Amino acid sequence: MKNRIASGVIFIILGLLIAIGPQTIFAVCGPMENGKFMKCHWTAQAELGIGFVIAFLAVLILFFASSQIRIGLHFGIIAALVATVFIPTKLIGVCGGEHMQCNALTKPALLVLGAIGIVFGIANVAYLLTGVKKEQISYAKQSHGDTTNSSFEY
């Protein structure tokens, strides 16, 4: 239960930081003089959606006690975090200038949040898998255990 709450809350915070951060805390560049947006704006828009998906999956982690379901939710979160890393680096990108706000602040922040989340997610999946194996061993012992106390009628 403690793992479920801790991982759920951590991923909710991480998802909200990924979603809202590029809009506020580590904001991307504003529109150009002609009113058009640069690449970093679209990166922020994509991260908004991905961050909310991560937060939503994390809320689901809080509600499901089953380790198998939580493992699946973690895989979804890890996949979204991989997208978080690839959007500012390969898929959409950020502005070309090294000293622009998005390149100096937004991109590194998203990469750090994504990397921390991926490592935490993989570690949590490994932890949950050990619990699943223990559950399976316990179930196998119950299923194929001592049959001397059977109540078969002859």
Helix orientation angle between 67-86 and 2-20, rounded to the nearest 10 degrees:
20
* Predicted pLDDT at 148: 52
* Predicted pLDDT at 3: 87
* Predicted pLDDT at 149: 53
Question: Residues near 89 by Cβ (< 8 Å), separated by ≥ 6?
Answer: 107, 111
Rounded-to-5 percentages of helix, strand, coil across the chain? 75, 0, 25
Q: 44-90 pLDDT, tens per residue? A: 999 999 999 999 999 999 999 999 999 999 999 999 999 999 999 99
Where are the domains positioned within the chain? Answer: 2-143
Q: Percent of the chain scored above 70 by pLDDT?
A: 86
Give the global pTM.
0.85
* Predicted pLDDT at 152: 46
Q: 20-30 pLDDT, tens per residue? A: 999 999 999 99
Identify the CA nearest to 60 among candidates 80, 46, 78, 74: 74
pLDDT value at 8 more than 80: yes
Taking the C-alpha atoms of residue 145 and residue 154, their distance in angstroms, rounded to an integer, is 21
Mean pLDDT of the chain: 90
